[in-house]
Chain A
Amino acid sequence: MNEENKTEAKLDDIQIAAIVSSSVFVVWFVVYWFFQIQAVRELFEFVRVNNF
């Protein structure tokens, strides 16, 4: 592998790593906050139904 190819591979490597890790974070963020917000909504609903 010559120097130019090595540089391209490095660039591809870091970009692919960025895509993999960023995608995981975005999925994690959406799932985690969906369930947290859902839990708060259920709490509000519980309070409303039980006239607290």
Chain B
Amino acid sequence: MPTSILGPYTRTIIAAALVVVTIVFCLTIRIPVHTSIEPLFDWMTASWFGYIGTTWGAAFAVVEAFHLVGLAFIGGTVVASDGRLLGLILTDQPPRAIIDKTYRIFNWALILTLSTGIFMACGVAGKIYFLKVFWYKMLTLCAGMLFEYGIRRPLLEKELEDINPWVLKLTAVASVMVWFTVAALGRWIGYSG
């Protein structure tokens, strides 16, 4: 079991190792890997999703609308829960209630955003493969999901009184920054005609 191998600081070691691996990957084999996965994007373009996305603009627009709704829900839940942790909004409500209520909405919004995002990516696979901003978004999205489910939620499962307030605030700030970047980069992909 990894816990027994890595000792009591398993999660810290894994988090630091992931950061190091990501940096090493970006500095070394990023370009060869990017080249090697081009056939995947050709396949996405030729898939049913790609065919529908490129043939029927209305279908793409409808799916994109749901994608934006999902992003709006993610943004809303992040602002509500992290804003409460920072003591900026909803201060008349207990933070535990806000966190618990936003968890489920966040999950469904993320599923909606990911599923519609895959469809949209198939529709414009030939374009996004060459967009740097798309890869930055994927990196931030993966990091955001790992952070949410691997760090933030396990942290907030503890009694909030037992957590250092500065750790809580730092986590909330980081969460807002990550999801703001995901949304902003998504909008940027839209502008990159």
Contact = CB atoms under 8 A, between A and B. Distances in A.
Contact of A18 (B136, B143, B162, B171): B171
Interface in B138-179: 143, 147, 151-152, 154-155, 158, 162-164, 167, 170-171, 173-174, 177-178
A20 B15 contact: yes
B56 interface: no
Nearest to A6: B8
A40 B154 CA distance: 38
A13 B2 CA distance: 14
Contact of A16 (B12, B143, B152): B12
Interface residues of A, number: 23
Contacts of A18: 151-152, 155, 167, 170-171
Contacts of B167: 15, 18-19, 22
Interface string B6-28: 00111110111001000000000
A46 interface: no
B15 A21 contact: yes
Contacts of A23: 170, 174
Contacts of A24: 19
Nearest to A30: B177
Contact of A29 (B10, B170, B181): B181
A10 interface: yes
4 shortest interchain CB distances as A-B pairs? A9-B8, A22-B174, A25-B174, A29-B177
Interface of A: 1, 6, 9-26, 29, 32-33
Given A12-B8, A18-B152, A18-B167, 15 more contacts: A11-B162, A12-B9, A16-B12, A17-B151, A20-B12, A21-B15, A21-B174, A22-B170, A22-B171, A25-B174, A25-B178, A26-B170, A26-B173, A29-B178, A29-B181
16 contacts: A6-B8, A11-B162, A14-B151, A14-B158, A15-B155, A15-B164, A16-B9, A16-B12, A17-B14, A19-B167, A21-B174, A22-B170, A22-B173, A26-B177, A29-B174, A29-B181
